[in-house]
Amino acid sequence: MTVASEAPRLIVRTVALRDHHELLGHLPETAPLAWLHNGDGLVGWGEAARLDLPAENEPNGQRFDTAARWMSELAAAADVEDAVGLPGTGPVAFGGFTFDPRSPGSTLVVPRVVVGSRAGRVWLTTICDHPGSHPDALLSSVTSTRYIGPLTWSDGSLSAQGWGGAVAAAVRRIRAAELHKVVLARDIHAEAGGTIDVRTLLSRLARAYPNCYTFCVDGLVGATPELLLRRAGGDVTSLVLAGTRPRGSTSEEDERIAGDLLASAKETEEHRYAVESLRTALTPLTSSVRLPDHPELLRLSNVQHLASPASATLREGVSTFDVIAAMHPTAAVGGTPARVAMDVIRELEGMDRGRYAGPVGWLDTRGDGEWGIALRCAHVEGSRARLFAGCGIVAGSDPEAEIAEADSKFRAMRSALAD
């Protein structure tokens, strides 16, 4: 159900901890929330406040404005004692927004309990509705994680070959000058014999991809390499990823593949569209945008990407949700021009992406936070997992090569699900 934008009054306490255990070890099985990077981050559970946003018919919609207003009201009404004072202390909302504003499912959740870690400091935040109360029951409900067990796999909305046909159709439209680039995604389904323990997936993903951002919000779990934005005070940073190759089986093969990626006209064109998309989005909101002249390589365990780190200083009064609204969808997950690409995606993909490729992350009531793009992920509900992968399509794209690239992007979640 959709919650009205009036936020509740909350009693919030943040205290320092000496506990340096792994953050995931604090999580109960029920509805865990997480954002992890290189061992630091936030985990949360329970529900002190929640905002569920409806589908919208307008191209831009009001969902980010509604979210910003709700967070502002929550901050104004909260009674906060924060003995730590770092980004991620005090009230924190974990959030995920659908890729398409026409899709329902965008949500913000403020947990009752948060354990955070940053630069060697650890803290505990608890939230209650009444002075003197304490969520004791929520602090003692951790159980052991469970194996996933055997899985049955099935096609999603399109088979691999059917999706390859969609890629071919997109290439024809690009060559006909309807658009420059479109990102097409596909899904596959896994069915387990019992309820999937999301904590098991989080632990495996965080261990296998420490340099990615491992997340879980309202059943969407994954490890994305793509940082949409990090805000600290008035400064924001981002990371543009577009252009992908697999890793090589030897160091020599790896270097050859990397060289091919850096020299590829198709991949560098795709990356250039993504960089210019970010520059265009940030320029009206900032006093300066800083981007490198040429991309660098980002190497993960299964793939390597062309990457361009970006930084900017926000103008006075610009909210974090203003920036997210301006940046989403990036050319790396939508296409160019954005509106035309969105129409092509709706026509050719044959599915609702839900929160796949949408913004996912956290925000505190000071406006600090980290938001990624929900990639390399699955939506888990009970015994079922729906996995997603997408590829950037330009005039030089080959359907068989794009099918192979999508398969390589499925690998992260497939491995996390495999016992």
Answer yes or no: is 5 within a domain.
Answer: no
Q: Which of 66-70, 72-76, 139-143 has the lowest mean pLDDT?
A: 139-143
3-state secondary structure 210-261: CCCEEEEECCEEEEECCEEEEEECCEEEEEEEEEEEECCCCHHHHHHHHHHH
Q: Is 181 a catalytic residue?
A: yes
Q: How confident is the model at residue 59 (pLDDT cuts 50, 70, 90)?
A: low
Confidence of residue 130 (pLDDT cuts 50, 70, 90): confident
What confidence category does residue 142 fall into, taking pLDDT thresholds of 50, 70 and 90?
Answer: confident
Cα separation, 153 vs 375, whole angstroms = 20
User: Does a structural domain hold residue 4?
Assistant: no
Q: Is the pLDDT reported for residue 397 higher than 50?
A: yes
What band does 119 get if pLDDT is binned at 50, 70 and 90? confident
Question: What is the Cα–Cα distance from 204 to 223, expressed in whole angstroms?
Answer: 10
6 occurs within a structural domain: no
Mean pLDDT of the region 376-402: 96
| Average of per-residue pLDDT across 25-42 | 94
Q: What is the bridge-based pairing of β-strands 181-192 and 384-393?
A: antiparallel
Residue 364 pLDDT exceeds 90: yes
The active-site residue out of 22, 178, 226, 400 is 226
Mean pLDDT of 348-371: 97
Q: Which residue has the tokens 């009205």?
A: 4
Q: Which of 6, 22, 181, 267 is catalytic?
A: 181
> Is 409 an annotated catalytic residue?
no
At 140, is the pLDDT very low, low, confident or very high (cuts 50, 70, 90)? low
**Residue 191 belongs to some domain of the structure:** yes
Domain extent, residue 18, equals 11-417
Domains held by the chain: number: 1
Q: Is 155 helix (H, G, I), strand (E, B) or coil?
A: strand
Q: What CATH number is attached to the domain comprising 196?
A: 3.60.120.10
Let me know if residue 150 belongs to a domain: yes
Q: Tell whether the model's pLDDT for residue 44 goes beyond 90.
A: yes
Predicted confidence band of residue 138 (pLDDT cuts 50, 70, 90): low
Res 244: pLDDT: 86
Minimum mean pLDDT range among 172-176, 198-202, 265-269: 265-269
Q: What pTM does this model have?
A: 0.92
- Tell me if 2 is assigned to some domain: no
241 and 332 Cβ atoms separated by less than 8 Å: yes
Question: Residue 3 class from Cβ within 10 Å (0-12 exposed, 13-18 middle, 19+ buried)?
Answer: middle
Mean pLDDT of 178-203: 97
